[in-house]
Amino acid sequence: MNEMLQGILSWDFIAAGIRVTTPILLAALGALIAESAGTPNIALEGIMLISAFIGVIVSGFTGSLWLAIIFGVIVGTLMAAILAYFALKLKTDIILAAIALNIFASGGTIFFLAMLTGDKGSSASVNSLLIPNVTIPIIDKIPILGEILSGHHSITYVAIVLIFVVQYLMYKTPLGLRIRAVGENPDAAESVGISVVKTRFIALMLSGFLASLGGLFLSMGYVSWFARDMTAGRGWIALAAQALGGLNAFGVAAGSFLFGFTEAASYSLQIFDIPYEFTQSLPFIITIIVLGIYAWRKVKASGKLNVSNSSVGPTEK
């Protein structure tokens, strides 16, 4: 027991937690923007996977880190744009369209991986690059604080900054106001000449952009390879984090950290003979329990037990 506690409260654990949280946080912020616009994006899992793949392929074949990042982000945003096109212009149900995209991502990345590298399992044969960590000068010299604040991955720093950026965007800028209006009452927005479709398009593309950063982190952050289905459910956990945090970036960040640290704990606990499967499913179980509690409290607060008044769940068209 003592050993377990020591394991959890060590610096290694906190660093691991932050590492695991980063992609979840990015995707969750994306989920927030999409949800605010009334167009929930459940294709984050697939977008992350595709961006992870693109990053590895581009950096492997061009040798350029920046090109990999740029292409990774462009393709991720493009995927979200395709989702938006089908859901907003061609009127596909946005959940089904997202499922289609996830299927495309899962199979398509393997297909193109095989086509380009001859290997279907992973990109081991490709010499892809690593996005570096960042050491903040001066701060890293401060005892204790320096170790905590400096030395994290560059994308992690970006993610933290993005928490504030997203909150500012949503609540202080015209675009944020419009996104919220479109999500809450699209007719109202339309009536003042705001293009609901255009606004939702932007919201979805922003969510794709954020998710793609998360994907790049997965395949180029601490490891430099792509493997089939390497996102392993993070896109879904991000949705759960957003469901918990609501439409507030800080709430969503809190949810993301909670899940990130839970998953990191599942790695640490492996050393102590707790079955791998149990620890791996722990984040998902915790998510369900927390969601259940959250929903239960909402029900108690509203005082109504009519299921038809449910507001938690996929937004209807």
Partner 1 sequence: MKADKRFTLYRIGISVGIALLIGYIIVFIASFPSTDIAFMKKMKEAFDSANEAYKYFLTGALIRWRITGAAFNQSGFIQWINEAVPIIITGLAVSMVFTAKQFNIGAEGQMFLGAAVATAVAIYFPGIPFVSTVFVIITAMAVGAGFASIPGFMKAKLKASELVTSLMLNYVAFFMGLFIIKTFLRDTEAGSLVSLEFQQQAMLPLLNERYRWHIGIFFALGMTVLVWFIMKKTTWGYKVKLIGDNMKFAEYSGINSSKMIFQVQVAAGAVAGSAGIIELLGYHGRFLWLYSPGYGWDGIIIATLARNNPLFVPLAALFLSYIRVGAKIMGRYTNIAPEIVAILQAVIILLVTAEAFLAKWKQRSINKEATQNEINAMPVQVGDTK
Partner 2 sequence: MAENCILEMNNIWKIYPNGVVANKDMNLKVNKGEIHALLGENGAGKSTLMKILFGIEQPTKGEIIYEGQKVDISSPNKAIEYGIGMVHQHFMLVPSLTVAENIILGMEPKKGLSINIDEAYRFVQEQSDLFGLPVPSKEKVKDISVGMKQRVEIIKTLVRGANLIILDEPTAVLTPQETVDLFKALKNLTEKGKTIIFITHKLNEVKEIADRITVTRRGKVVGTADVKDITEIEMSKMMVGRDVDIRIEKEPALTGEKLMEINDLEYTRADGVKSLKGLSFSVREGEILGVAGVEGNGQTELVQIITGIIPRESGQVILNQIELPLKTDPGFCRNAGLSHIPSDRMERGVAPDSTIAENIISDRFKKIPFSKKGVIKWKQVYGFGEDMIKEFDIRTDNAKTEIKMLSGGNIQKVVVAREFTAHSKITIADQPTRGIDIAAADFIRRRLVKERENNLAVLLVSADLTELLEVADRIIVLYKGEIVAHFKHVKQINETVLGEYMLGIKRMTSEEMGDL
- Please, what is the minimum distance in Å from the beta carbon of residue 42 to partner 1? 8
Residue 197 CB coordination number (10 Å): 16
Report how far residue 237's alpha carbon sits from residue 274's, in angstroms, rounded to the nearest whole number. Answer: 22
For residue 190, the partner it binds in partner 2, partner 1, none, with Cβ less than 5 to 8 A by kind, is partner 2
- Please, what is the minimum distance in Å from the beta carbon of residue 185 to partner 2? 5
| Interaction between residue 78 and partner 1 (CB under 8 A) | no
Q: Quick check: 134 and 153 in contact, CB under 8 A?
A: yes
Q: Quick check: 37 and 200 in contact, CB under 8 A?
A: yes
If you ran DSSP here, which 8-state letter would residue 152 be given?
-
Nearer to partner 1, 107 or 132 (CB): 107
**Residues 6 or more apart whose Cβ sits within 8 Å of residue 37:** 179, 180, 182, 183, 199, 200, 203, 204
| Interaction between residue 160 and partner 1 (CB under 8 A) | no
**Residues 6 or more apart whose Cβ sits within 8 Å of residue 296:** none
Site string for partner 1, 249-278 (x = CB under 8 A): --------------------------x-xx
- Please, what is the minimum distance in Å from the beta carbon of residue 181 to partner 1? 24
For residue 168, the partner it binds in partner 1, partner 2, none, with Cβ less than 5 to 8 A by kind, is partner 2
Q: Quick check: 231 and 43 in contact, CB under 8 A?
A: no
Residues of this chain that interact with partner 1 (CB under 8 A) are: 42, 86, 89-93, 95-97, 99-101, 103-104, 106-108, 110-111, 114-115, 120, 233, 236, 239-240, 243, 275, 277-278, 280-281, 284-285, 287-288, 291-292, 294-296, 298-299, 305-314
